[in-house]
Amino acid sequence: MSILVTGGAGYIGSHTVVQLLEVGYDVIVLDSLVNGSREALHRVETITSKSVRFVEGDVRDRPLLDRLFAEYAIDAVIHFAGLKAVGESVEQPLAYYDTNMHGSLVLCQAMAAAGVYKIVFSSSATVYGPDAPVPYIETMPRGSTSNPYGSSKSMVEQLLMDLSRADERWSVSLLRYFNPIGAHPSGQIGEDPQGIPNNLMPFIAQVAVGRRLELSVFGDDYSTEDGTCVRDYLHVMDLADGHVASLSSHRQPGVHIFNLGTGQGVSVLKMIKTFEQVTGQSVPYRIAPRREGDIDAFWADAGKAKRELGWWAKRGLEEMLRDTWRWQKNNPHGYLSVK
């Protein structure tokens, strides 16, 4: 079976490509490299001793997509390609709707024209909105979104639901990720954010490796056990396995929504302390004002994925942090030195 992986040179995409190759899928990666790295794919090939077909290009490029579907007998698409920085999306809404929304639209048009009706889409827990009770469960309606990034995810979910209602050949998996962290256990591939990291885990890792002086903890007066925000962090290798599981098991057409998380909430301070214990590195931090838009606490009800996909997050917090550190220590500047 051949899988087209859009955005496969990025963080979650590259780990998923490893797991797809390991179980015997053929993989074609389409990536514009706007936030991905060719080096990541070279390393994927080293890890797996298998080759990846790589096409540098944009998911909004319809003629290119048509050529890809004509050239390769593609059975399904995993659609990671997109922009993902929440703050940037507020400043550049057109860029975010264009890449995330229009890109998905063009992809679906090309898929329909080529007769490929199976898609796995990278959605996000953010679609539940700020008012949903925890744990989040798939039967809840989507909530309001407070930034263009979240809105674009919610809109693409709606687009795919409408497509499936109009044409029952479509088989759609909407995978709502919680907070992916960690890296491949080889330390060869991992998260490589450009500029100052927006997210907690890469920021902690860059402080530990000496690239940044200290971490700002955004708020310690939330209504949580230690006052800092609580999230459901899951290992990117588990997340990758979730894609493989959803590809192999959603044989019935229709829309299938799955939360991919551990079901456990962890606070920011607990993340710092556990990282220090596991790695022996100190992470200097100071308490800073709250970050606009942050929700105090959320985590997944991940029961549906376990029941219907046979998937659950197997790797614990310590393993996530150890693997993050191995990647960061071995690659203090990410893929930069070889880009």
State the residues that interact with ligand NAD by CB under 6 A. 6-7, 9-13, 30-36, 58-60, 80-84, 99, 103, 122, 124, 177, 179-180
Q: Which does 103 bind (CB under 5 to 8 A by kind): ligand WQD, ligand NAD, none?
A: ligand NAD
- What angle do helix axes 103-114 and 62-71 make, rounded to 10 degrees? 40
- Which of 58, 54, 23 minimizes the C-alpha distance to 39? 54
Interacting positions 293-322 with ligand WQD (CB under 6 A): 294
Question: Whose Cβ is closer to ligand NAD: residue 32's or residue 188's?
Answer: 32
Q: Is 149 a catalytic residue?
A: yes
* Cβ neighbours of residue 34 closer than 8 Å, sequence gap 6 or more: 83
CB of 111 to ligand WQD, least distance (A): 23
In angstroms, how far is CA 308 from the centroid of its own chain?
A: 21
Residue whose token pair is 């979910």: 157
Tokens of 203: 């920021």
Kindly tell me which residue out of 16, 126, 259, 331 binds ligand WQD, with binding defined by CB under 6 A: 126
Question: Which among 15-23, 28-36, 196-204, 249-257 is the span making contact with ligand WQD, rule CB under 6 A?
Answer: 196-204
Residue count (the chain): 339
Distance CA 277, CA 269 (A): 12
Neighbouring CB atoms inside 10 A of 142's CB total 18
Interaction of residue 291 with ligand WQD, rule CB under 6 A: yes
CB of 121 to ligand NAD, least distance (A): 8
Binding track, positions 34-73, relative to ligand WQD; x by CB under 6 A: ----------------------------------------
Question: Whose Cβ is closer to ligand NAD: residue 66's or residue 287's?
Answer: 66
Kindly tell me which residue out of 84, 184, 256, 315 binds ligand WQD, with binding defined by CB under 6 A: 84
Tokens of 199: 């997210």
Cβ–Cβ < 8 Å for 81, 7: yes
Q: Which does 218 bind (CB under 5 to 8 A by kind): ligand WQD, ligand NAD, none?
A: ligand WQD
Interaction of residue 199 with ligand WQD, rule CB under 6 A: yes
Residue whose token pair is 């500047």: 333
Task: Kindly tell me the sign of the dihedral angle through the C-alpha atoms of 307, 309, 124, 318.
Answer: positive
Residue 193: is the preceding peptide bond cis (ω within 30°)?
no
Cβ–Cβ < 8 Å for 324, 205: yes
* Cβ neighbours of residue 161 closer than 8 Å, sequence gap 6 or more: 172, 255
Question: Whose Cβ is closer to ligand WQD: residue 198's or residue 274's?
Answer: 198
Question: Whose Cβ is closer to ligand WQD: residue 9's or residue 21's?
Answer: 9
Q: Which does 265 bind (CB under 5 to 8 A by kind): ligand WQD, ligand NAD, none?
A: none
Distance CA 34, CA 81 (A): 10
Interaction of residue 86 with ligand WQD, rule CB under 6 A: yes
Distance CA 304, CA 262 (A): 12
CB of 66 to ligand WQD, least distance (A): 29
Question: Whose Cβ is closer to ligand WQD: residue 124's or residue 246's?
Answer: 124
Interacting positions 208-267 with ligand WQD (CB under 6 A): 215-218, 229, 231
Question: Whose Cβ is closer to ligand WQD: residue 249's or residue 274's?
Answer: 274
Catalytic residue (choose from 25, 136, 149, 177)? 149
Cβ–Cβ < 8 Å for 239, 177: yes
Question: Whose Cβ is closer to ligand WQD: residue 184's or residue 231's?
Answer: 231
Cα angle 34, 40, 46; round to 5: 160
**Positions in the binding site for ligand WQD (CB under 6 A):** 84, 86, 124, 126, 179, 198-200, 203, 215-218, 229, 231, 268, 291, 294
Catalytic (active-site) positions: 149
